[in-house]
Chain A
Amino acid sequence: MNVIGAVKAYVEKITDETEPGMKVLLMDKETTSIISMVYSQSEIQQKEVFLLERIDSPNYANSTGLRYLKCLALLRPTQQNVELLCTELRNPKYGAYYIYFTNIIAKADIKLLAEHDEQEVVKEVCEVYMDYLAVNPHLFSIGIPYCLERLSWNQNALQRTVQGLVSLLLSIKKSPIIRFQSNSKLAKELGSRIEDVMNKESSLFSFGPLGHSLLLILDRRDDPITPLLNQWTYQAMVHELLTINNNRVNLSNIPGVSKELLEVVLSAEQDAFYAKNVFMNYGEIGQNIKQLMDQFQAKAKSHQKIESISDMKNFVESYPQFKKLSGNVTKHVTIVGELSSMVNKYQLLDVSEVEQEISSQNDHSTHLSEVKKLIQNEKIRHSDAVKLVMLYALRYQSHTSNETYNLIELLKKRAVPDPLLKNIIYLLEYAGSHARQSNLFDVEDAVKITKRFFKGLSGVDNVYTQHKPLLHDTLEDIVKGRFKDNLYPVVNNHSSGLRAQDVVVFIIGGATYEESLTVHSLNKNYANFNILLGGTTIHNSKSFLEEIENAFKGEDMRLRKHTRHLRNIRFD
């Protein structure tokens, strides 16, 4: 089960099936993202694809065609795309068309297309199942930033998520048992919708007997902590501080950044340094980047003195690698430099230490005073101050001497903007203790105590990486066969079947890179298990809070149920 491999295999198939010749790849907005997650432009050029076009761009319809090109159309099976394709076929811009839909398409749409192909340019019409964004081999996203509407499914988002997951299951050839988080209506609805499709398309889903694989649908509301924390592993950190959008990082805000670095691509498939350091922590990356620079300097030095012909020859022969290396060096040095300047400027180490302690220890008075101290620190960002209060409020929600009210007063004194303060209410309404089925904080079973104990003894544990996402415990329960039927029932009350070793976990409301690392480490430690993680999107704290805020649009927050006592944040 490797999602990047799965998407690549489909693209491979598509390009191999078409006759040789110059090709243009015709895509829509979403398939462009799907492809760009796994292929670079120069890679796709080696498959004779020399032009990339967007069927939904406003200029496309009026642009001139080149009849000597073959057109590979890779499109989502949407109404709009079918219509655009019909117009295209009536006046074809290219000599031949090979049409691939990334998901199941209705027969009526095929008929409609066939009726418009008057010049007989279409050679192939086919469904390939790659309707999702493959982020890492074990991580995928549907690419929906806001999936909720007044705390229920936005119907478009639900439809898109069903399509995404159905295509994912097909691409990895699984017809799983579906289980869902029992307290989540969203999870239940999604689960039964997927099962409906699987039943309807049973001929497609005929991958041997049921029960060898599991699709587990979770709700972000059960763990609001993980997306709020500052992160210290490379990928997660870059996403939290600089935001990764479809493998791309916008660096244009960095002063004095060179032109080719305005937007950089971080792809583990094409960038060996990144692949090696994706899960390394901040300290290790610092060291590795130094090594990389030394390596580069040594190479650059050897290239400086080209005296003999053989020097010249060596230079020319190693030049492509040299250039690649130099591109990587400047990219990662710039990124790491920016990260470290942000860490210092906003005192993120101090912030993170308190965040981690609140998330994994229980010490009300210490935590309260630490949070207070940081709120009064002028150097930390408003957003970090607010997130600390959020963590405190979630952690000690039922504590008798809860001081959230006073902390909000302190935030007001620091002139934190109103929308940020409102986020505290949104978060507590979204994922306060009333909305969670798992004990986020008080899971103090023997195993956990043991672990903490030994962490203390060996002294290896890093204060900035104490927190383990709830997902870690959930998955460990699956691995150990302790999974509870009442908390995670099977869709339509089927029997839970065999102990599945292929597990797809999907989080409604977005997964995080910290959870991605958790899944990756479990995959490595339990060789028998193969776990994939997916989410409606991949969140950092900012996008997570935006999604929650959006989920309450249209709700009258004056009638809020769980945070009335926090009267100092007003919605009028």
Chain B
Amino acid sequence: MADTNDIQEGFLCPICHKDLRSPSNLIAHFQDLHSEEQDVLKSLRSIYGKAKKKILKLDDDDLQNFKELTKEKYCLEPSDPQESGPSYSHTNYFKDVRRERLDHRTTETNKLIIRLDRLLRTFGADRKQQEQELVIWLDGTSVTRCPSCAASFNIARRQHHCRLCGSIMCNSCSYFLPYNVAQTIVAPVNSVNDREYSGKDSDTFRICNHCLNMLESRRKVQIDQMSKPTIWHLYNLLQSNIKQIQSSVSLYDRMYNSLTSGETTFLLQDVQALRSSIAEKAQMIDTLSKKIASEPVDCETPKAVLLQNNIRKATSNYIKESLLTLPAPPSVEELESIRHKFAMSFKDDDFMEPTRKAKIQTITVTTGWSPAPANEINDGIENPLVEQMRIVRNYIDQARKAQRFEEVASLEENFRMLRETYRQQQREQSNY
């Protein structure tokens, strides 16, 4: 080889320095071409033997890992939900700063509104004087320039005063608040009849930029608080329906699992009823979301179109992915075979009833639903147990109508027990 300085690696033949890539090739090569050097071959073999042993001993771990590396196929598992990391809230600090500022601003605004209210009541020839009594006008003798546009005052550009705060400005920096607008601003504060105020509708107040801003931003907030568009109401309706469906779906899952694992807590017909009621609700939210999507929008808010379409899309996704995928309840025959299997495996447990009784007898009213008392038709002769049974029957019917299937289940259990006791009583009576 030309580059003898270089260190070569691989399975090199010790005689001709050819790289043979694998030990078996090397040994074969050696046997074929260099058969005269048999002792070298021997030593080569023993080196491999030794190396193998040594490596096996020393690097068992590495070897093991290597085997795994070639065998194992790697893939990514979806991430499980986990607890979120720390967060740091600035809300309190933010609100403190804001309060400090806004308290000041609110009192200012309120002051302006009270003044405005009073100004609206001024009339007559000495109106200007009355105005000056209400709001002290700034002394203009030392003011040579308009504070907002810095133009100097002269005969052509005269000083004017803001009627609300008394500050000075030029004519072009003045704003004019019409009487009728002023009245609507004051109205919520003082619900006085319009007639009490004087002046014509065309009259205005001269006010400064600063005061106008204060009044405007207050008015905006008030308007925004009042207006809730149709879509807002529709969406709330949609959400409350989805919430109901959500709880129905989780109830359905429970009932379905209980049914398919052979328990008799729930009745098949109830499961079916619940499923069809979920389907009905799904229909309803579908229509609602369509209605939201077709709600007319202001052409000024292209966003609303997107919003409404997205609500529709999200709802139909929800229906497709969470509701249409609900498993269908088993058929009567399937249920029979499940129950049969279940009965076979749990035959012995049938006599363990007492523990179950104790559990079920307590009707949970945590969900806030309770049946109305049955119409008591007391003919006095009936056995109190029979009457009890009738009342419970009635409850069951009500609960079923309200789709309270868990209550139905526990009431049914009660009913069964009552019947059992009743029969026992009858037997005892006939025995006597």
Chain A interfacial positions (CB closer than 8 Å to B)? 2, 4-6, 8-10, 12-13, 20-22, 24, 42, 45-46, 48, 50-51, 63-69, 95, 104-105, 107, 110-111, 113-115, 117-120, 122-129, 136-137, 170-173, 204, 268-269, 275-280, 284, 316-317, 319-320, 361-366, 399-401, 442, 444, 446-447, 450-451, 453-461, 517, 520-521, 524-525
Partner of A363 from B19, B89, B220 at Cβ < 8 Å: B19
**Residues in A whose Cβ lies below 8 Å from that of B102:** 118, 120
In the complex, per-residue mask of B225-236: 1 if CB is within 8 Å of any chain A CB, else 0: 001110110010
Offer 10 A-B interface pairs, CB within 8 angstroms, sorted by A.
A13-B87, A22-B235, A110-B90, A113-B94, A119-B221, A124-B91, A319-B320, A444-B9, A521-B72, A525-B65
Chain B interfacial positions (CB closer than 8 Å to A)? 1-3, 5-11, 19, 21-23, 51, 55, 58-59, 62-63, 65-66, 68-70, 72-91, 93-98, 101-102, 105, 217, 220-221, 224, 227-229, 231-232, 235, 239, 300-301, 303-304, 306-307, 310-311, 313-314, 317-318, 320-321, 324-325
Q: Is the CB of A45 within 8 A of B317?
A: yes
**Residues in A whose Cβ lies below 8 Å from that of B9:** 361-362, 444
**Residues in A whose Cβ lies below 8 Å from that of B82:** 2, 5-6, 8-9
Cβ of A471 to closest chain B Cβ, rounded Å: 15
Q: Is the CB of A170 within 8 A of B85?
A: yes
Central interface residue in A5, A69, A95, A123, by most chain B CB within 10 Å: A5
Considering the complex, give the chain A residue whose CB is closest to the CB of B21.
A456
**Residues in A whose Cβ lies below 8 Å from that of B228:** 68
Central interface residue in B98, B229, B321, by most chain A CB within 10 Å: B98
In the assembled complex, the Cα of A447 lies from the Cα of B54 at a distance in Å of 12
In the assembled complex, the Cα of A364 lies from the Cα of B63 at a distance in Å of 29
Q: Is the CB of A170 within 8 A of B81?
A: no
Top 9 A-B residue pairs of the complex, sorted by shortest distance between their CB atoms: A9-B84, A114-B97, A45-B314, A279-B74, A5-B79, A171-B85, A50-B310, A125-B90, A5-B82
**Residues in A whose Cβ lies below 8 Å from that of B86:** 129, 170, 173, 204
Partner of B317 from A46, A280, A284 at Cβ < 8 Å: A46
**Residues in A whose Cβ lies below 8 Å from that of B85:** 6, 9-10, 128-129, 170-173
**Residues in A whose Cβ lies below 8 Å from that of B83:** 9
In the assembled complex, the Cα of A446 lies from the Cα of B96 at a distance in Å of 67
Q: Is the CB of A521 within 8 A of B23?
A: no
**Residues in B whose Cβ lies below 8 Å from that of A124:** 89, 91
**Residues in B whose Cβ lies below 8 Å from that of A107:** 90, 93
Q: Is the CB of A456 within 8 A of B3?
A: no
In the assembled complex, the Cα of A278 lies from the Cα of B74 at a distance in Å of 8
Considering the complex, give the chain A residue whose CB is closest to the CB of B320.
A320
Cβ of B229 to closest chain A Cβ, rounded Å: 6
Q: Is the CB of B317 within 8 A of A114?
A: no
In the assembled complex, the Cα of A63 lies from the Cα of B83 at a distance in Å of 37
Q: Is the CB of A68 within 8 A of B84?
A: no
A125-B91, A172-B85 are contacts. A115–B101 as well, Cβ < 8 Å? yes
Q: Is the CB of A46 within 8 A of B314?
A: yes
Considering the complex, give the chain B residue whose CB is closest to the CB of A277.
B75
Partner of A458 from B70, B72, B90 at Cβ < 8 Å: B70
In the assembled complex, the Cα of A64 lies from the Cα of B220 at a distance in Å of 15
In the assembled complex, the Cα of A114 lies from the Cα of B99 at a distance in Å of 9
**Residues in B whose Cβ lies below 8 Å from that of A68:** 228-229, 231-232
Central interface residue in B81, B232, B301, B325, by most chain A CB within 10 Å: B232
**Residues in A whose Cβ lies below 8 Å from that of B95:** 114
Partner of A317 from B10, B77, B304, B325 at Cβ < 8 Å: B325
Cβ of B211 to closest chain A Cβ, rounded Å: 15
Q: Is the CB of A8 within 8 A of B74?
A: no
In the assembled complex, the Cα of A504 lies from the Cα of B221 at a distance in Å of 50
**Residues in A whose Cβ lies below 8 Å from that of B5:** 400
**Residues in A whose Cβ lies below 8 Å from that of B97:** 110-111, 114-115
Q: Is the CB of A64 within 8 A of B300?
A: yes
Q: Is the CB of A268 within 8 A of B76?
A: yes
Q: Is the CB of A456 within 8 A of B23?
A: yes
Q: Is the CB of A517 within 8 A of B224?
A: no
Q: Is the CB of B87 within 8 A of A127?
A: yes
Q: Is the CB of A126 within 8 A of B90?
A: yes
Cβ of B93 to closest chain A Cβ, rounded Å: 6
In the assembled complex, the Cα of A388 lies from the Cα of B221 at a distance in Å of 68
**Residues in A whose Cβ lies below 8 Å from that of B105:** 118
Central interface residue in B8, B51, B62, by most chain A CB within 10 Å: B62
Q: Is the CB of A118 within 8 A of B217?
A: yes
A50-B307, A365-B3, A517-B74 are contacts. A127–B84 as well, Cβ < 8 Å? no
**Residues in A whose Cβ lies below 8 Å from that of B63:** 450, 454
**Residues in B whose Cβ lies below 8 Å from that of A319:** 320, 324
In the assembled complex, the Cα of A128 lies from the Cα of B85 at a distance in Å of 8
